[in-house]
Structure 1
Amino acid sequence: ALGINMPARTVLLERLTKFNGESHADITPGEYTQLTGRAGRRGIDVEGHAVVLWGPDVDPTRVAGLASTRTYPLRSSFRPSYNMAVNLVSQLGRAAARDLLESSFAQFQADRGVAGLVKQIKRHEATLAEYEQQMRCQAGDFAEYAALRRALGDREAALSREGARARRGTVAASLEALRPGDVIRVPSGRRAGLAIVLDPGLHPRDDPHPTVLTESRWAGRLSMLDFPVAVDVLGRIRVPKNVNHRSPQERSDLVSSLRALKLPEAPRGRRGATKALHDDDEALRLRSALRAHPCHHCADREQHARWAERHARLQREVDGLRRRIEGRTTSLGRTFDLICALLEDRGYLTAARPASSGAPGGSGGTADETTPPGRQLARIWSEADLVVAECLHAGAWDGLDPAELAAVTCTLVYEARRDERAVDRMPSAAVREALARTVRIWAELAEDEAAVGLPQSREPDLGFVWAVYRWARGERLDRVLTAAAEAGAELSAGDFIRWCKQVLDLLEQLAAAPAAGGGTIAVAAPARAAAAAIRRGVVAQSMQA
């Protein structure tokens, strides 16, 4: 069997399948190598032999493939758990723990892109530290000064965009008000100068595109790009109703009428384009703070500013990479955040708070603390760790005797190999009530897990209740296995021993777990007695082997 270390010259494989906990599946190349690696006694045999028993379903090609494969894919089984979360947070802090998970082999395997992004972030963070050294100013905090410069630049850009939108609306309104015969001035561009509106060019779903005739006798359509400011009507000229702007004679007559108006020259300079910028209170405040900052008068200010700009650009890139990681559903860091949020809601972690320089996981950042229930959870290593902690917190198992406690706790470690019929009868009323509370606690937790997108904790399995209850009460192994079979769980002696060890492990954790308020938990003594009752006979002998 797998895992047994014993000398043998020849290993015989009766079949190429094994039970994997759920079903009988084909063995992998790694399992084949582990099995056949037992052949050949060290110091006695020069070589060993592996024999695969022939059968109608044995494919020689597949056997050759199993024997010749020497590289096996590694698959990480690592997943963040509730117990792991509280331990990592208490020792490292939430941010450092998250970084650690995102650098793990499990994360690399789950999503190689995330692992690569994390490495890229770390390289950028090292570069950011170098930039911070280069932008350091003796006059004061240049990072603060650079932030003021960026804030002022952002505010000016926002005001510019607002002004552009306002001007565009004003221009559109002025163009929509034009009528044939209006004399306007095109302010800039190739067609700059006086022009006569021949057709306003209004359209219900588009900007106006007026058709005009300029002083140079050019006739055509203009767009809003030709008018950076609103259009003023300078005068009017009578335009024939069916004017043909393609006729040279008609264009010449209209231009002569335009010149006869003798309109004044266009005013020079800008028309208050930056008025809003100079009148904005926020921009004025930022500009005043910028000038008052000590770094504003530094002789190397612009050199520091260039390094600060590089720092800001790279920081934006790092922030973008972090957002990409946040968006990955396979990110262990994302799962860790969801676990921490659930633990925080249930009182096992405190919310992030400002950290002192000596706090774990940061200097001046944020720190997290585990609550007394969280420290209790940190001492429970089980697949159903949070269900166990919730049951302890709710007192769901208080008052049970050792055998009853073993019967209830086994439901959180036992997992049936196949579908078993439901267990209708319980060993005692106390066991029935405790199991009902346990299942109710599990259901509430599973609902919360589903709501936040976490995998649901496994449902308690009642298949081992009668077996461990009778064993803890001192009954013989044959009677225990018979009772289990009658209850719907057919167990071999090996399976019984294996599950007893799992229950023992959980009971010993309960015996040593601290109470949330200090001292020991209420079930500590029954758990200790239950562990002693289970550790006897074949179970005790298997633990000595």
Structure 2
Amino acid sequence: MPSYAEKYEAAKARSEYLKSSVGLFESSLDFPLDDFQREACEVLQDGDGVLVAAPTGAGKTVVGEFAVFLARRQGKKAFYTTPIKALSNQKFHDLSRIHGAENVGLLTGDISVNSEAPIMVMTTEVLRNMLYAQSSTLSSLGFVVMDEVHYLADRFRGAVWEEVMIHLPESVAVVSLSATISNAEEFGQWLDTVRGSTRVVVSEHRPVPLWQHVMAGHRLYDLFADNTTISKAADIVRRDGAEKIKVNTDLLKATSRRGPGPRRGPRRGKGKGQGRSGPPPMRRAPRPVVLRSLDENGLLPAIYFIFSRAACDDAVLQCIASDIRLTDQRQAQMIRAYIAEATASVDLKDLRVLGFDDWREGLSRGIAAHHAGMLPLFKEIVEHLFTLGLVKAVFATETLSLGINMPARSVVIEKLSKFNGEQHVDITPGEYTQLTGRAGRRGIDVEGHAVVLWNDGMDAKAIAGLASRRTYPLYSSFKPTYNMSVNLLDQFGVDRAMSILESSFAQFQADKSVVSLASKVRRQEKALSGYEESMTCHLGDYVEYANLKYKLNQTEKRRSKERKRMTRSAAESTMQLLVPGDVVDIPRGRNSGPAVVVGKPQGGFETRIGVVTMSAHLRVIGPSEFDGSIQPISKVKVPKHFTGRTPQDRRDMSARVKSALDEGKPGRTIKPPKSPDFESPEEDQREIDRLRRAVESHPCHGCSEREDHARWFNRWVKLKKETDSLRHQIDSRTNTIAQRFSNILDLLADYDYVGPDDSGEPQLRSAGETLRKIYGERDLLTSLALRDGYFEGLDPAALCAAASSLVYSGKRDETVFLRNYPAGLQERANRLHGLWTDLAGRERHHRLPETPVPDVGLMWSVYRWARGDSLSKSLEGSGLVAGDFVRATKQVIDALDQLGHAVDDPMWRTGCEAATNLIKRGVIVHELETPAGSDDDVIGQEWEESEEI
């Protein structure tokens, strides 16, 4: 029992806690804070930054919400950044409910709501652009929440996170929220370096336990034996090793016999034993069967991951065809009513193009697809209905595992491999954890469930190993881009820019990777000192003596190589002048002796000729078989169509050669071409003689222990060579980021974007100013196109089409055939391709990755849309799906906005705005508006059946 004093102290501490910012924040919540949440919040309260790494669904965002709460108490601004627009929209609505709509704003590139509010939600790219533009919106900024910060590993967009981290003012506290990563401490160390005091808070605990199952055939099995969850399995692996994991014996038995099925008899017409017998391979359960099993076992709602857009859509149709229905009549009625309201403003023709009827039928049954190829409005409706619990099963690609808050009771993974754009690869433990992390809704489910579908050839122990591993380090993808480079140069100058780049997480990781190399170098340097001591000679400086011997040896080798080069060059140059019928003397080798040339010299890596030898063999010889210039020793006649394929032809030819030689028939004289300049042989010989005298007169030459010293010296030379190689590796790794920046500046100087200032330091020139305001994979090419007049004189619709070629990137297997270009853009497209060809050549010269080639695959579609055509007409013949078209068109809108602001010309800006207004219509700008009221209100409404569309 605690004493009265202890009780008093505890009560006092509790009272003080409740008065603190963390205590006040916790009292405003409907639930108590977990230990890791409270610890992270207290770090922020103390004025430090924090990195929170915890499993999906653990409640990391509560820490971000506390940062917003703290900013409000301190009278500062708070920015909440997310990697994707959907997550930004979600957080905007969440924070608006908590703090009031008047206090929360949203910036996502194409949307701006209440942009000067004290709480701003935005995509990370928007914040990066604000930092480069030195926006006034940054004033009074106190906190920045970087949700899903592990996105910095994304090879296309990851650099943005590091740019923001580096450029944010020191006074801003950064809250980094990450999925569980195995190198959180390393990432935290980097944050501490670039942002000041930063604490790392890691939680391995899943608030909702996760169970792992395998569906083999039509039956659901536990993967692990002994009532083990995934987290417990991970603990066992970490503590005792993977071999201690026990797999369910029932599963092993079921999968080892390859499933039930009749034995196959011999094929018709085959003899006994020739047919294929035995049970067939265990097939993967059909999708409708999987859903029925999940429903029967109480495992819905579920997210069913399929790594294919088309397969997700097919899965919904399969379930409709199998008459799967996961909703009751009332729920189906509510779903149809909501769809009618949400899509009321979408053109009826467009809805038909989008496969509206099948999509709505699936939703009314509680089944939907979710992938990047869907219309954004359709995706948002699916997300909303799933969140409300009206949709029970979503067939989704892996994009759903990133960021969007769509928790489910169960997650199904159809395959453990996916196509990465080039080949099929196994999913990683990190990807597996990200996918299964959606299972188990905090506050709703007491446990979550992950289900892997059994495919023939699988190994249950391999699945167990994948599910229980926790090795998913965060690696930086940071690399300087053209836009980043000119912004850094313009704002900070070359030295400060170099310093900024060297402070990136990419460089931090590269530096850490050379720690072991540096340690090895230090050990080898110590060994070199010992070798130097062992080869010390009492008569003189043995290193000096060894260096003289080394120089003598190298000079002799060089002289020998030069002699060989001169000989080979003379042989090759005269060989090229030989003609059929010339008889030459081959001085050595198996072909030595007279031979007659029977073919013209052939080029390639070296000149080669065909000859017939005196032994009647047909050979092909090169310059290495001669000692210098070749002079024919005789001449014979070679028949015009001589091939030398038959032994008789070759014997006849060798007989002619013998006859010509016996008669003393002279050969023709070949005048050798001028030899290439080599160092004078006489000068080389004089140097050899001088070094030889120096070696023989050196005191150490007469040492009785000279051979011992030589052995130690040879070891020293070998180790020094290895050590120098290690130093080179260290240099190449520690300077990669800065070297790329330097190469970019050299290339930009080719285009006069960068040039020397009065002191000779690189500075941004006026020609490069446009590049500062252009972002994207083809940033420099877009700037060059603008300078070259690619957009000049185009009407607004054609301007949209022209801009599309600089932002669109079609899939690898897409092939677009344009019969003609819209609005006479063919000549301009050819010019643009010429600009790209020149740029790609310069990039190769400066050892930089090539800019993606311009892509015309969107031109006709966006041109038609800009002219006012319907969605079906715009997509006709393009091979594009609606979601891709919408996403790409929004990129065109963003590009036009960048182009309009890249040049200080009001007329040009007006033209870009006019072009934007043409395509900013219909499904491109249609956003889902959540009906008023809470989620409970929505679920409780009795909506009438809507009129059929």
Which range, TM-score by smaller chain? 0.5 to 0.7
CA distance in 1, matches of 2:688, 2:457: 74
CA-to-partner distance for each residue in 1:310-337, whole Å, 9 max, x for gaps? xxxxxxxxxxx99987656971111111
1:180 maps to: none
CA contact (8 A) 1:7 1:38 kept: yes
CA-to-partner distance for each residue in 1:344-375, whole Å, 9 max, x for gaps? 22121221543xxxxxxxxxxx7543222322
2:800 maps to: 406
2:890 maps to: 501
1:458 maps to: 852
> Structure 1 residues 30 and 394, CA, compared in 2 at 3 Å: closer, same or farther?
same
CA distance in 1, matches of 2:735, 2:907: 40
CA distance in 2, matches of 1:464, 1:223: 78
How do 1:390-405 residues align onto structure 2 when only pairs under 5 Å count?
390-405=784-799
> Structure 1 residues 205 and 391, CA, compared in 2 at 3 Å: closer, same or farther?
closer
Letter in 1 for 2:782: V
Say if 2:871 is the partner of 1:471. Answer: no
Alignment equivalent of 1:32, drawn from 432, 441, 454: 432
1:84 deviates by 0.6
How do 1:262-411 residues align onto structure 2 when only pairs under 5 Å count?
331-354=736-759, 367-411=761-805
1:81 deviates by 0.8
1:452 deviates by 1.9
1:410 deviates by 1.8
CA contact (8 A) 2:822 2:859 kept: no
How do 1:110-121 residues align onto structure 2 when only pairs under 5 Å count?
112=512
CA distance in 2, matches of 1:443, 1:367: 29
CA-to-partner distance for each residue in 1:444-492, whole Å, 9 max, x for gaps? 11111112222211111222222222222222223333331xxxxx222
Alignment equivalent of 1:441, drawn from 813, 835, 842: 835
How do 1:205-220 residues align onto structure 2 when only pairs under 5 Å count?
206=689
Letter in 2 for 1:418: R
CA distance in 2, matches of 1:522, 1:205: 76
Letter in 2 for 1:493: A
CA distance in 1, matches of 2:490, 2:458: 53
Letter in 2 for 1:459: V
1:273 maps to: none
1:52 maps to: 452
1:27 deviates by 2.9
CA distance in 1, matches of 2:490, 2:858: 35
SS in 1 for 2:836: helix
CA contact (8 A) 1:111 1:331 kept: no
Letter in 2 for 1:101: L
Q: Number of paired residues? A: 340
Say if 2:506 is the partner of 1:106. Answer: yes
CA distance in 2, matches of 1:35, 1:209: 73
CA distance in 1, matches of 2:504, 2:796: 41
Letter in 2 for 1:502: Q
1:521 deviates by 7.2
Say if 2:917 is the partner of 1:532. Answer: yes
Return the TM-score normalized by structure 1: 0.55
CA contact (8 A) 1:348 1:374 kept: yes
> Structure 1 residues 533 and 111, CA, compared in 2 at 3 Å: closer, same or farther?
farther
Letter in 1 for 2:744: I
Unaligned runs of 5+ in 2: 1-395, 519-685, 700-725, 931-949
Say if 2:473 is the partner of 1:73. Answer: yes
CA contact (8 A) 1:102 1:331 kept: no
CA distance in 2, matches of 1:437, 1:401: 18
1:135 maps to: none
CA distance in 1, matches of 2:921, 2:420: 28
SS in 2 for 1:467: helix
Say if 2:518 is the partner of 1:97. Answer: no
CA contact (8 A) 1:325 1:331 kept: no
1:20 deviates by 4.2
Unaligned runs of 5+ in 1: 119-202, 211-221, 227-320, 355-365, 485-489
CA contact (8 A) 1:377 1:389 kept: yes
CA contact (8 A) 1:22 1:418 kept: no
CA distance in 2, matches of 1:501, 1:19: 26
> Structure 1 residues 477 and 99, CA, compared in 2 at 3 Å: closer, same or farther?
same
1:424 deviates by 3.3
1:8 maps to: 408
Structure whose CA Rg is larger: 1
> Structure 1 residues 6 and 482, CA, compared in 2 at 3 Å: closer, same or farther?
same
SS in 2 for 1:8: coil
CA distance in 1, matches of 2:516, 2:772: 31
> Structure 1 residues 11 and 327, CA, compared in 2 at 3 Å: closer, same or farther?
closer
CA-to-partner distance for each residue in 1:88-117, whole Å, 9 max, x for gaps? 111221122123223322234457567999
CA contact (8 A) 1:83 1:381 kept: yes
SS in 2 for 1:483: coil
Alignment equivalent of 1:43, drawn from 417, 438, 443: 443
1:384 deviates by 0.5
CA distance in 2, matches of 1:419, 1:209: 67
1:197 maps to: none
1:426 deviates by 3.2
SS in 1 for 2:451: strand
SS in 1 for 2:850: coil
Letter in 1 for 2:917: A
SS in 2 for 1:38: coil
CA distance in 2, matches of 1:482, 1:342: 41
CA distance in 1, matches of 2:816, 2:416: 33
Alignment equivalent of 1:541, drawn from 926, 931, 935: 926
1:511 deviates by 2.1
> Structure 1 residues 117 and 82, CA, compared in 2 at 3 Å: closer, same or farther?
farther
CA distance in 2, matches of 1:70, 1:352: 52
CA contact (8 A) 2:407 2:441 kept: yes
CA distance in 2, matches of 1:80, 1:109: 16
1:431 deviates by 1.7
CA distance in 2, matches of 1:90, 1:379: 12
SS in 1 for 2:877: helix
SS in 1 for 2:415: coil
1:390 deviates by 0.4
Q: In percent, how many aligned pairs have the same letter?
A: 47
CA contact (8 A) 1:107 1:114 kept: no
SS in 2 for 1:79: coil
> Structure 1 residues 105 and 543, CA, compared in 2 at 3 Å: closer, same or farther?
farther
1:359 maps to: none
SS in 2 for 1:412: coil
> Structure 1 residues 523 and 478, CA, compared in 2 at 3 Å: closer, same or farther?
same
SS in 2 for 1:350: strand
RMSD of aligned alpha carbons: 3.8
CA distance in 2, matches of 1:209, 1:50: 79
CA contact (8 A) 2:511 2:734 kept: no
Q: Which has the higher contact order (CA 8 A, sep 6+)?
A: 1
